[in-house]
Amino acid sequence: MVLTLLVIVIGVLLIAGIATYSSASLVRGSADRAADAAGRPADADVIEPDAAFWTGFAGIAGVIAVAALGAAIVGRAGLLLAVAAFVAILLAGTHLLRTTRQRVRQRVLDAAAGRMTALRARHDAVVERWLAYELDPGKQIEYPQMTDVSQPSAAAVVRAMRQARDARDAADEAGYADAVTRLEQTFAEAERRALGQ
């Protein structure tokens, strides 16, 4: 009787371990597949609903099989043990999903913050290059068309800087990325013209 109960406990624990491990693998594996499909590194965990369903279904089926075996061999004690194991697996699965969702949410926020930081650095670099023309008297004399807004290229740079600043203040990542790219291109074109290239 004790040996049978021990076998059932070990069976339930093995099923719980396999279900937990496969759930964690499912989350990691799907992130890698999604990243590969998008051609980018895996920077966030993704839970595929179909795979999550089948992992949970397999875990529940295993618990039901062990519960039936326990009830047949040990009686009520085996059935109670299987129900307790089922509740434990359910709680562990719920915790795993909650923590995975929190981790995914945090990674998405961190990735967005990193992209915005990189955009701000690019924006600031162009503004610093423009300020060199604006604040250096020698450069103002040598390249007046860089700061003279009556010149079309200088006016385009000032417009692009204003648009980038507005997009930065709006915290619209896609719009800010476009505005910074336009600013870089506009400034590079204005520099080419000023340097006579």
Same domain, 21 and 89: yes
Res 118: pLDDT: 94
Alpha-carbon distance of 102 to 113, in angstroms, equals: 16
Res 144: pLDDT: 86
Residue 93 is assigned to a structural domain of this protein: yes
Alpha-carbon distance of 194 to 196, in angstroms, equals: 5
Span 47-68, average pLDDT: 67
- Count Cβ neighbours within 10 Å for each residue of 105-143 and write b for 16 or more, e otherwise: eeeeeeeeeeeeeebeebbeebbeebeebeeeeeeeeeb
Residue 27 is assigned to a structural domain of this protein: yes
Same domain, 27 and 85: yes
Residue 128 is assigned to a structural domain of this protein: no
Span 170-184, average pLDDT: 92
Same domain, 18 and 106: yes
**33: Cα separation from own chain's centroid:** 14
pLDDT in tens, 11-53: 666 666 665 555 555 555 444 544 455 444 444 445 566 666 6
pLDDT in tens, 126-158: 999 999 998 988 888 888 888 888 889 999 999
Domain count, the chain: 2
Res 99: pLDDT: 82
Res 107: pLDDT: 87
Q: Which of 60-69, 100-109, 118-127 comes out lowest in average pLDDT?
A: 60-69
Span 72-87, average pLDDT: 69
Same domain, 24 and 81: yes
Rounded to two decimals, what is the model's pTM?
A: 0.57
Same domain, 93 and 144: no
182, 160 Cβ separation under 8 angstroms:
yes
Distances (CA, A) of 34 to 24, 31, 94: 16, 5, 23
Same domain, 57 and 10: yes
Span 100-105, average pLDDT: 83
Residue 87 is assigned to a structural domain of this protein: yes
Please give the mean pLDDT across all residues of the chain: 76
Reported as a pLDDT band with limits 50, 70 and 90, residue 4 is low
Same domain, 95 and 59: yes
Q: What percentage of the chain reaches a pLDDT higher than 70? A: 60
* Domain assignment of residue 172, given as a range: 136-194
- 122: its two tokens: 């690019």
Same domain, 99 and 154: no
Same domain, 31 and 90: yes
Same domain, 87 and 173: no
Dmax (CA) of the chain: 98
Same domain, 18 and 92: yes
Same domain, 167 and 95: no
